[in-house]
Amino acid sequence: MESLLWLLVLAALVATVLLEVARRQRGALTERLRDALPQELQAARLFINEPRFPIRRHRPYPVAARPDRVYRLPDGSLALLEIKTRAAHAVHPSDIAQLSVQRYAMLGTRRLRNVLPTGYIATVSTVNASVRVHRVDLLSEQQTISLIARYDAVAGGREAPRWPEDLARCRGCPHRQRCSRPH
């Protein structure tokens, strides 16, 4: 009985330490990110930070988006920022698609409709923990609807998938193991 009690105390201590480490890491990232923000975001206020509940839009295609961060600029417009941890400070087309879908969801919500057609990808290096913020042009609402429609058709088996011409895009793809493309 006593050993079980000690085990519980030990587990509680380990959990506390891990939570504290995670909190400090988040705090350090927030500081590095703040320093790396471009000038136009320096005066902005953090409006949404890792929301507990997704932003939903139901028509014409249902999506549930959970942006990492949304900043409110002094003129009231909203800017999306997504944080990616990776080896190189590079922006992938999938990053832009992800932010565009988040914007599409926001455009369907009255209080978030003022979202800008440009967004930001913050890359955090796994090599040296440096942070770089990239400004990107997002897909228009119509382009995003077409992208979701295409995804819906491929996922539903109504259209055949097309392999990307650039093999480099397959690197790091989560579907690579079951993809029939020769690599």
Binding site for ligand SF4 (CB under 6 A): 163-164, 169-170, 173, 175-176, 179, 181
Residue written as token pair 């770089």: 132
Q: Of 61 and 151, which CB lies nearer to ligand SF4 in the complex structure?
A: 151
- Work out whether the CA dihedral 108, 111, 114, 115 comes out positive or negative: negative
For residue 109, the minimal CB distance to ligand SF4 (Å) is: 31
- The candidate with the shortest Cα–Cα distance to 65, out of 47, 80, 76, is 80
For residue 95, the minimal CB distance to ligand SF4 (Å) is: 14
Q: Of 60 and 164, which CB lies nearer to ligand SF4 in the complex structure?
A: 164
Residue 28 contacts residue 35 (beta carbons within 8 Å): no
- H or E segment at 49? strand 45-49
For residue 92, the minimal CB distance to ligand SF4 (Å) is: 11
Q: Of 29 and 97, which CB lies nearer to ligand SF4 in the complex structure?
A: 97
Q: Of 133 and 151, which CB lies nearer to ligand SF4 in the complex structure?
A: 151
- What are the tokens at 179? 């993809």
For residue 93, the minimal CB distance to ligand SF4 (Å) is: 10
Q: Of 26 and 171, which CB lies nearer to ligand SF4 in the complex structure?
A: 171
For residue 170, the minimal CB distance to ligand SF4 (Å) is: 3
Neighbours of 150 (CB within 10 A): 13
Residues sharing a CB contact under 8 Å with residue 105, sequence separation 6 or more, in sequence order: 54, 55, 56, 57, 63, 64, 65
